[in-house]
Structure 1
């Protein structure tokens, strides 16, 4: 068998020192760009890659980043956001020789103990901070334990860590504007937990869009982003004395469950009830009727967040994230408002 090439073989073939090969693969300054490219090309041609363990020792890093998620496993399992986001993260980490350490923790813990253990044990070089809470204390904790982080979501304005996020307000507003253009005046919202930043921001965007259209506030039900929660919320809305003619859901999972509840009760969608979601998950286009929703590039979001975190860990110049703006995708689950329902005005509902 042909012996596996070593770093010395690459250095000899490229006409450089062993240290130069190490510098090239660790993206460290001190060698010319053309020399770096020659080394990398020589290594590719020879089929040589550095040992992860040796590289970690040489740069005094764990070569891993963490993501601590405070959600029940059953909720996370069904949420299509995280697989797409993690796929984007992994595509960047794999190219850079880093691993992802994923931990699930109890919701009431918010991951504080886990973050401290990760920092104390040196198991990760930085973390991606997801599922932001209003008045979230985790950024301050990470600053305290000196664990680099990137906030996945809106900038909290604390100046502690960089944020990589997309404003979800325009997407929700576009859904409401679409429904208003179809004649709907009684538009409900099924939102995520108010303690979560994106749960509150989507509710605020829904309320603001109704006000901009001169409409009274519609009914609101707080849920938990799960299918079970979406189904229960939809049931409560349909049981109202004056049920809405349209419902805007904070994610596709709740919207799909709501659609199933409506159809099971014999309600014509979209003839009697229009339904819209958020995320444009893969199944959204294959429902009956297909789901009107807001599309976002979640995989690209994961790539941008991972890239920014590695910039921070390796003390490189920040890469400016380029993220797609959320965009409304109109499908068959929304249609004109039924004519035999009372009109809503700017007057407050009793």
Structure 2
């Protein structure tokens, strides 16, 4: 008899594919009555424990990560290098390895997850680049592949998140700028659909409202130096230019610094600039960039640690890294008199 698919079982039982995954794999998330109904219908369709559609995956020594971004964008991004350093550091403490693969689209990414699960290639995956309305958590649950989200918190019992406190960091940045007298602040953000962009935007808006920064606003870019520079030039040549720029990563911030200086502006005498993540780039330029220092390597290591526990059947929950800190350098100063 042909083995039934998750979709077929879900349709017959009148439940979601995720509920089928929970029921057949003995995971919490469905009632006992639903579990019994799903298992019984699955048996009727030809499913058998240990050998059917949702057999328990043997524990693989490998963990997986699929990246849906161009390779060139990753090689030039200090954040990703630091993240991978933390992941490798944690992997070195055990026998697991990391299988990483690039995917040109979200559908291709899901295809990789299905193949990995079907072939028992990995025991679990790290889910990166969370987006607003992201369907991948539900799809991974339906596949039955254990996962940990890089970012959040998502508040999902089936998908623990490891995250950094960007809200607190953003509040600290605006409080610092307000203390220097800045009232007109432009934040050059990452792509709008990303979860972390929305998190920072919400914190930025809330802090600006509380501090009375009526001229604080966010514009969106793409994390590259070129677009960061173009965006900085556009806002700095506007009729009412800001007195401070806050960039969502350090690559854009370097581009913004070069753009400001190219316009003949002095940093920080004419405009203050703040970067995010504080890679070595921030300390190589002049003036050195004030920056939010996030524990990125710790973030990667913690994600691997939580995923290992999940794959091994341990208790896991949303986990936050240590608190980001703010490094004050030469690119920020009191608001200029105009």
TM class by shorter-chain length? Answer: 0.7 to 0.9
From 168, 171, 191, the counterpart of 1:170 = 168
In the alignment, the residues of structure 2 paired with residue 72 and residue 329 of structure 1 have an alpha-carbon distance, to the nearest angstrom, of 31
Q: Tell me which residue corresponds to 2:247.
A: 249
Alpha-carbon spacing, 1:144–1:237, altered in 2? closer, same or farther (3 Å): same
Alignment-derived partner of residue 336 in structure 2: 338
How far did 1:81 drift?
1.1
Gaps of 5+ in 2: 1-56
Rounded Cα–Cα distance in structure 1 between residues aligned with 2:120 and 2:249: 36
Match of 1:299 in 2: 297
**Given the alignment, which residue of 229, 232, 241 partners 1:231?**
229
Does 2:153 correspond to 1:146?
no
Whole-Å separation in 1 of the counterparts to 2:106 and 2:188:
23
Deviations 1:233-255 (A, max 9, x none): 11211221111110111111111
C-alpha distance 110-236 of structure 1, shift in aligned 2 (>3 A): farther
**For residue 276 of structure 2, what is the aligned residue in structure 1?**
278
Residues 140 and 160 in structure 1, CA contact (< 8 A), matched pair in contact too: no
Who is 2:97 aligned against? 99
What per-residue deviation string (whole Å, max 9, x for no partner) do you get for residues 36-66 of structure 1?
xxxxxxxxxxxxxxxxxxxxxxx94331111
Residues 1:96 and 1:172: Cα distance change in structure 2 (over 3 Å): same
User: Does structure 2 retain, via aligned residues, the 8 Å contact 1:311–1:319?
Assistant: no
The equivalent residue for 1:128 is 126
Tell me, which stretches of 5 or more residues in structure 1 are unaligned?
1-58, 341-350
1:114 to 112, 115, 122: 112
Which string of whole-angstrom CA distances, capped at 9 and with x for unpartnered residues, describes residues 314-349 of structure 1? 223449957210111111101111111xxxxxxxxx
CA distance in structure 2 between the aligned counterparts of 1:165 and 1:220, rounded to whole angstroms: 22
Aligned counterparts of 1:281 and 1:261: Cα–Cα separation in 2: 19
* Residue pair 1:70, 1:109 contacting (<8 A) in 2 also: no
What's the counterpart of residue 78 of structure 2?
80
In structure 2, C-alpha distance between the alignment counterparts of 1:110 and 1:132, rounded to whole Å? 16
- In structure 2, C-alpha distance between the alignment counterparts of 1:149 and 1:60, rounded to whole Å: 15
In the alignment, what sits opposite 1:195? 193
Asked whether the equivalents of residues 180 and 335 of structure 2 are also in contact (C-alpha less than 8 Å), the reply is yes
Residue matched to 2:183: 185
RMSD: 1.8
Distance 1:149 1:189, change over 3 A: same
Distance 1:264 1:108, change over 3 A: farther
Correspondence for 2:44: none
What SS does structure 1 have at the residue aligned with 2:65?
Answer: strand
1:138 and 1:217 map into 2 onto residues whose CA distance is 37
Deviation at residue 312 of structure 1 after TM alignment: 0.9
Post-superposition offset of 1:133: 0.4
Report the Cα distance in structure 2 between the residues aligned to 1:311 and 1:229, rounded to whole angstroms. Answer: 40
Q: 1:320 to 1:75 in 2, by over 3 A?
A: closer
4+ residue runs of structure 1 moved beyond 6 angstroms? none
Residue of structure 2 equivalent to 1:69:
67
In our comparison, the structure showing a higher alpha carbon Rg is 1
Per the alignment, in what secondary structure is the counterpart of residue 228 of structure 1?
helix
TM-score (norm 2): 0.79
Q: Distance in 2 between matches of 1:312 and 1:220?
A: 37
Asked if the contact 1:219/1:244 (under 8 Å) is kept, the reply is no
Q: Is 87-96 or 262-271 further displaced after alignment?
A: 87-96
Q: Assess, with a 3 A threshold, how the Cα gap between structure 1 residues 256 and 158 changes in structure 2: closer, same or farther.
A: same
Cα gap change, 1:116 to 1:225, in 2 (>3 Å): same
CA distance in 1, matches of 2:280, 2:298: 15
TM-score relative to the length of structure 1? 0.77
